Amino acid sequence: MKRVLVTGANGFIGHHLVRELKKRYYWVRAVGAPRGNGDLYEEADEFVASDLTNFFACNIITRDIDEVFHLAAHIGGIKYISENEVNIMRDNTLIDLNMIENSYLNGVKKFFYSSSACVYPSTSTNEIHVSPIKEEDAYPANPEVGYGWEKIYTEQLLERYRKEREIDIRIARFFSVYGIEIPYKGDDVKSLIALCRKVAEAEDGGEIEIWGDGSQVRCFCYVDDVVNGIMKFTESDFIGPVNIGSDIPVSIREVVDAIIKISGKKIIKRFNLDGVTGVKGRNCDCSKAKKKFGWKQTISLEDGIKRTYDWIMEDMKNNG
């Protein structure tokens, strides 16, 4: 039985990935911060609460492991990212350096790294109507936020580990992942999730606030499709980097309308033009994933929003 390690395992994508790996009969060591989803104690073969900014902690958790799925990161919504760049860049650099070096020292054969669409230059996202972003567009590098700079630096570091230390490195760049079991409280959550929560909390006939004028464009991909993409990618011969996301751009205004329709409520939309909006437009080119390992998005935005909204409603009802 192949022994794998998932970091960020009690995070959103990580929890879903642990579940899928167990379905495929992997032995899974799940590593996360000492908080979060208690189900992992039962779902994984082993759960370890660990601080990955500590070098020696990373050495311990990577022992006797064949493959690492490294998803752990200090991250939040666009408002949080833009206001906490020092903490995010410092912590993520330490985490990524510690994980790859100790994976090498302990003989890990394959290392998957979850990168981000934030690595792409700001020039590719400063218009509403933008061309789909291809993997090659990451250079010349000019990410729009510090989080993106740290991610692209780590991608470069991992390429050197591949060449000089012969580790099988796999790099995927995610675009706006959402779905059930995602954190939805507070102002530092992703836009689609925050909007689902606002509509869920609103009374019929009430009002919600939307940051910006609603023209911002994103490509949202449901978590089950992303996890399937991770598995297809890591089980293929392709090394990446590769985009994993939706190739169907949608405006925030369209997302809001879809959520309201699913809710069955009548909601007044109030646009806060001073709110933090992030990039104007982001459009994902997924052709390489389709060509190299046969992955494509299967869950429509409407279906994904309904699943997510219904889950948030149920969780609010049960947990307040």
- Classify residue 289: in a domain, yes or no: no
Q: Look at the chain and report how many structural domains it folds into.
A: 2
| Domain co-membership, 31 together with 67 | yes
| Domain co-membership, 208 together with 231 | no
| Domain co-membership, 258 together with 235 | no
Residue 125 vs residues 154, 249, 259, 283, 301: alpha-carbon distances, Å = 22, 12, 25, 8, 21
- The percent of residues above 70 in pLDDT, for the chain, comes to 92
**pTM of the shown model:** 0.91
Note the pLDDT tens digit of each residue in 40-88.
657 899 999 999 999 999 999 999 999 999 999 987 766 777 788 898 9
Question: Do the beta carbons of residue 167 and residue 106 sit within 8 Å?
Answer: no
Mean of the pLDDT values across residues 180-191? 82
Give the sign of the dihedral formed by CA 313, CA 277, CA 125, CA 112: negative
| Domain co-membership, 169 together with 271 | no
| Domain co-membership, 94 together with 207 | no
- Residue type at position 48: V
Position 9 confidence tier, pLDDT thresholds 50, 70, 90: very high
Burial 241-268 (b: 16+ CB within 10 A, else e): bbbbbbbebbbbbebbebbbebbebebe
Please confirm, yes or no, whether 147 is among the known catalytic residues: yes
Which among 80, 113, 120, 147 is annotated as catalytic? 147
Note the pLDDT tens digit of each residue in 230-272.
999 999 999 989 999 998 999 899 999 999 999 999 999 998 8
Rounded Cα–Cα distance for residues 299 and 294 (Å):
16
| Domain co-membership, 207 together with 141 | no
In the chain, count of helices (H) and strands (E)?
Answer: 11, 13
Pairing of strands 217-218, 250-251: antiparallel
| Domain co-membership, 53 together with 102 | yes
Closest by CA position to 131, among listed 282, 291, 288: 282
| Domain co-membership, 18 together with 114 | yes
CATH number at residue 113: 3.40.50.720
Instruction: Give the least confident one: 160-169, 214-223, 252-261.
Output: 214-223
CATH number at residue 192: 3.90.25.10
| Domain co-membership, 171 together with 199 | no
Residue whose structure tokens are 């493959």 = 67
Tell whether the model's pLDDT for residue 221 goes beyond 90.
Answer: yes
Q: Which residues constitute the domain of residue 202? A: 178-218+248-283+299-319
Question: CA angle 122-125-127, nearest 5°?
Answer: 120
